[in-house]
Amino acid sequence: MDPVSERLRARHPQRIDLSLERMRVLCAALGDPQHRLPPVVHVAGTNGKGSTVALIRAIAEAAGLKVHAYTSPHLVRFNERIRLAGKLIEDEALNAILDRIEAVMAETDSEATVFESTTTAAFVAMSETPADLAIIEVGLGGVLDATNVIERPLLSVIAPVDY
C-alpha cells in the first residue's frame, strides 16, 4: 500500500455517519474550497465513470482547456486520483493539504472517511490551481455522496447504472 493510502486509512473512523455534515464542517473550516472550483462536470453511475471522465477530459483538453479531474480508485499511485490542469498532484502539495485536513480534524475533534478526506484534498488543490473546468467523479453515489457538497455543477453526467 502506498504511503498516502496508509496515512488516510489510519485516520478512517470506526463508525461511518452517513451524512454530508462531516464534509460540510471540514470544507467550511478550509474556506469552502468546493465553492471556488472552476465550472464542474459531476459524473455518476455504476459502470464507466472513469472512462466517462477520461473522455470528457480528453475532449476538453483537445479544445485547449485546462482541466482538473478527480477519480478513484488509483492504479499505482494515490496521486492518480487528483489531476490539476492535466498533471498529477505533486507529493509535496498533496501531503501539505492532508496536513491541513488533519489539523482541522484535530481542532474540531472530528473524523473523516478516506473518501471524504480525499475529496476534500481534491477540492482544496483544485481551488488553488487555475483551470477552466473540473471533472468530479462520485464515490458511492446517491444524495449523501461526499462530492455532493458541490451544489451547482455546470453539468451532471450519468454513466450506465446497474445493480
**For each of the chain's 163 residues, which pLDDT tens digit applies?**
777 777 777 666 666 777 899 899 999 999 999 999 999 999 999 899 999 999 999 999 999 999 999 999 988 999 999 999 999 999 999 999 999 999 999 998 888 889 999 999 999 999 999 999 999 999 988 899 999 999 999 999 999 888 7
Cα-to-chain-centroid distance, residue 44: 13
Q: Where are the domains of the chain?
A: 3-158
Instruction: Using DSSP, state whether 48 is helix, strand or coil.
Output: coil
What CATH class has 3-158?
A: alpha beta
Q: Give the other-Cβ count within 10 Å of 50's Cβ.
A: 16
Q: 83 pairs with which residues across the strands?
A: 69, 88
Q: What is the pLDDT of residue 142?
A: 86
